[in-house]
Amino acid sequence: MEPSTVAVVGGGAIGVTATAELATRGTDVTLYERGSLAAGSSGRAAGVCYDAFGDRTDARIGTRSLERFRELPDVFTELPYVWLAQSGDEKRADAIRKQSTRMRELGLDVALVDPDDLQDRFPGLVTDDVAVAAIARGAGYAETEEYVEAMAERAAQNGASLRTETAVTIATDPLQVVSEDGKRSFDAVLVAGGAHSKRILDTAGVSIPMKPYRVQALVTETTPNSETVPMCYDATGNYYFRPHTGGLLVGDGTERVESDPEHWKRDADDEFVHQTRKRIAERVRQDEIGVREAWAGLCTATPDGDPLVGEIRSGLFIATGFHGHGFMRAPALGERITDEILGDDGIRRFDPTRFDGNETFEIVAGMDIE
């Protein structure tokens, strides 16, 4: 039987997408966010979106998300995505060759590209040191806060209740959301609280193997070459960039140690800023790179690199552990978790019950190419 009342805990991209989906389908849904919408990882995400995955499940999710992003032309901008390995890095160069083959076998618009041809197409990009590069043509980027706002507006227009500045815990038997206003029972609860999901689920007596980890990003001052480069990931240097408001948004700085989601450094490190300025000046033919702003955010890791998406206890659903790929997959995963809440099958590979919740594991960043 479909639930008639659903609570969503977490006002990031996946939480608001699921809320909008549920409301559109006629469900009585209430979203709880302890701060403001997109105040967590979604508001600090890069917004890079692509379907260039070598696994069929990931590729389908990426393709569906891009379809839905394209329905929001004021939010989403089409732009090819390039990933490359530098000369001397044969390990990653070989991995890119193999990846692109698998992606083409899945029907994705992905191809290897000669470095000289890449430079001709994107004249602002320096390719002299590139050994191998691949390009995904069906890609783009979205403005993250604008996406969350669009989904929140859609949810509200369809009758959803959005309660910001409202911290909650979860009680079970019966399933309830507990806030300062008291307790309210729901037929189903979705926890999509990003780095806080583990703490929220702990209040319901549910343990998950998820670790938050810190990442960093910056936005450059106006860069003349920003409109002549693609979205790009340098696998050897382990950094990415995309055009952003006349400059470039650049990310890197993954810390492979668990962070406390309540107490962590939100400003970028000086060393990250210094190193990133140097790298970008070399990659986009720019003598001097000014920095407009720099920050840190939290991503979430799991033992096997796949997220935890689905029902973990009767009526209790979760969506977390995205290894930095949560925003780009939010449109599709918000849709799929809604399907599951309303009685359809979930994504078997992402089933959160595949773990007992007490696993030990090392953090691996989602963009790593090995």
* 32-63 pLDDT per residue, tens: 999 999 887 777 889 999 999 999 999 999 99
Superfamily of 5-44+144-207+304-354 according to CATH: FAD/NAD(P)-binding domain (3.50.50.60)
Closest CA relative to residue 368, chosen from 216, 242, 235: 235
Q: Are the beta carbons of 140 and 66 closer than 8 angstroms?
A: yes
Question: In the structure, what pLDDT confidence band is assigned to residue 149 with cuts at 50, 70 and 90?
Answer: very high
Q: What percent of the chain has pLDDT over 70?
A: 98
- Tally the residues of the chain: 370
CA gap 191, 179 in Å, rounded: 15
Closest CA relative to residue 178, chosen from 187, 188, 167: 167
Closest CA relative to residue 204, chosen from 345, 299, 317: 317
Tens of pLDDT, residue by residue over 213-244, are 999 999 999 988 888 999 999 999 999 999 99
CA gap 325, 367 in Å, rounded: 9
Partner residues linked to 299 by β-bridges: 213
Q: How far is CA 154 from CA 5, 19, 72, 149, 161, in A?
A: 18, 9, 12, 9, 11
Boundaries of every domain in the chain: 5-44+144-207+304-354, 211-301
Question: In the structure, what pLDDT confidence band is assigned to residue 366 with cuts at 50, 70 and 90?
Answer: low
Q: Are the beta carbons of 305 and 365 closer than 8 angstroms?
A: no
The CATH number of 211-301 is 3.30.9.10
Tell whether the model's pLDDT for residue 107 goes beyond 90.
Answer: yes
